[in-house]
Amino acid sequence: MSDSIFSKIESILEEIKSANPQDAEQLENFRITYLGSKNILKGLFSHMKDIEPARKKDFGQMMNELKTTAQGVFDAKNTEIKNASRAESKNAEDYSKPPFPEAVGSRHPVSVVMNHMVDVFQRIGFVVSEDREIEDDWHNFTAMNTPEDHPARDMQDTFYLTNSIENLLRTHTSSVQSRVMTSSKPPIRIIAPGRVYRNETVSARSHCQFHQIEGLYIDKDVSFADMKQTLLYFAKEMYGAETKIRLRPSYFPFTEPSAEMDVWMGTETEKTKKLTKGTGWLEVLGCGMVDPNVLTNCGIDPEIYSGFAFGIGIERSAMQKYDIGDIRMLFENDIRFLNQFQSAL
């Protein structure tokens, strides 16, 4: 009986010594067979009682040898296989290979134009001031001298939030004017780029969401001439050094006097003719001297301070710059359309 157990041990020892697991899976099988919680060595131990007393010591030693040999083979193979797979993954990262053609993102045309405009005003000391798109009625309308029966408050123009006429989606970035004037003291010199919303039918020419840049400058002795010079500088930076502008009298509840600024495009080409409806002038922004009522509403003394404000539409400029015929393209996020602006700043 003892002999057969001893020869079994011998053959298992040979088995272990000649085992040659090649990969992680084979190695795991080896571990389970010889070192795992139900390994075959444990089965052999149960034969201890059948061994004659004189050979029990030998048995113990051989069992020990089995175990240490199995552990030795496992450790050696484990390092070998790990090293091999590490070398393999190193080969996969060949840094000398030419780069895989990665898709590079591009800026949205609205962002390109908006960033450019912001940069132009920052150069002459305007500071960016952004604020919320969900506004209250007071900051969007009341503070901005817009009487309660003003058509701009009409349900058709303004998106009011459900069950409330107190909260709305701002209809213009002029709401940032009242936010800034009520929270800081003059001198104030800010621009406020951002998205605005109007409850309008979406078409090729108009959308229910678009972008504006608001400008506000308040200090002692700010005049209409200061505004004109600032806007002329802006126009020349955007449209070229030879650019001509004109200020047309207009009306906004929050400015007095109010004006609209046109930029001369000319009527030479079909494109400019179409863009300017044959007049040669492109309307670019609304502006004016801040109405004293607005200053008073926001806690600024109109006897001491005066200022000007302007609001520039972004989409119109972007469409003109990139020859985009339909405003809806700017909001559809169609990759085929956006991919064309890869080289834009």
Distance in Å, CB of 326 to ligand PHE, minimum: 22
Shortest Cβ 186–ligand PHE spacing (Å): 17
Question: Least distance to ligand PHE from the beta carbon of 166, Å?
Answer: 20
- 288 is a site residue for ligand PHE (CB under 6 A): yes
Residue number closest to ligand PHE, CB atom: 311
Considering only 168, 222, 247, 287, the residue that binds ligand PHE (CB under 6 A) is: 287
List 73, 309, 319, 327, residue binding ligand PHE (CB under 6 A): 309
Output the smallest distance, CB 288 to ligand PHE, in A: 5
d(CA 14, CA 293): 101
140 contributes a contact to ligand PHE by CB under 6 A? no
Task: Give CA–CA dist 48/57, Å, rounded.
Answer: 10
DSSP structure string for 282-339: EEEEEEEEEPHHHHHHTT--TTT-EEEEEEEEHHHHHHHHHT---GGGGGS--HHHHG
Of 60, 42, 86, nearest in space to 6 by CA = 60
Strand bridging mode 167-169 / 255-264: unpaired
Task: Verify cis geometry, omega within 30 degrees of 0, for the bond prior to 151.
Answer: no
Shortest distance, CB of residue 108 to ligand PHE, whole angstroms?
A: 21
Q: Give the integer Cα–Cα distance in Å for 232 and 235.
A: 5
Site string for ligand PHE, 199-228 (x = CB under 6 A): ---------------x--------------
- Asked if 13 and 69 touch (Cβ cutoff 8 Å), the reply is yes
Question: Amino acid letter at 249?
Answer: P
Position 174 contacts ligand PHE (CB under 6 A): yes
DSSP letter for 187, please.
S
Phi, then psi, of 224 in degrees rounded to 5: -60, -35
- CB closer to ligand PHE out of 171 and 276: 171
100, two tokens = 């895989």
193 makes contact with ligand PHE (CB under 6 A): no
Residues 312-341 within binding reach of ligand PHE (CB under 6 A): none
SS3 of the chain: helix, strand, coil, percent, to 5: 45, 20, 35
Q: Which of 310, 314, 317, 320 is close enough to bind ligand PHE by CB under 6 A?
A: 310
Instruction: Considering only the stretches 124-132, 294-302, 306-314, 334-342, report the one whose residues sit in contact with ligand PHE under the rule CB under 6 A.
Output: 306-314
- Provide, rounded to whole angstroms, the least separation between the CB of residue 216 and ligand PHE: 8
Instruction: Count the residues of the shown chain that bind ligand PHE, applying the rule CB under 6 A.
Output: 11
For 79-125, the DSSP string reads HHHHHHHHHHHHHH--TTSPPP-PPPP---HHHHHHHHHHHHHHTTT
Q: Which span sits near ligand PHE by CB under 6 A: 63-71, 113-121, 237-245, 308-316?
A: 308-316
Q: With binding defined as CB under 6 A, does residue 181 bind ligand PHE?
A: no
Binding mask 69-88 for ligand PHE (x = CB under 6 A): --------------------
Residue 252 binds ligand PHE, judged by CB under 6 A: yes
For residue 150, which of 169, 132, 171, 178 has the smallest C-alpha distance? 171
Contacting range for ligand PHE; rule: CB under 6 A; set: 38-46, 84-92, 117-125, 284-292? 284-292
Asked if 172 interacts with ligand PHE (CB under 6 A), we say: yes
* Binder among 186, 194, 286, 307 for ligand PHE (CB under 6 A): 286
In the block, residue with structure tokens 């010889």: 34
The residue (of 21 and 286) whose beta carbon lies closer to ligand PHE is 286
* Nearest CB to ligand PHE, comparing residues 74 and 260: 260
Long-range Cβ contact pairs of 24-30 (< 8 A, separation 24 or more): 24/81, 24/85, 27/74, 27/77, 27/78, 27/81, 30/70, 30/73, 30/74, 30/77
**CA-CA distance, 112 to 344, in Å (whole number)?**
7
Residues that bind ligand PHE (CB under 6 A): 172, 174, 214, 252, 255, 286-288, 309-311
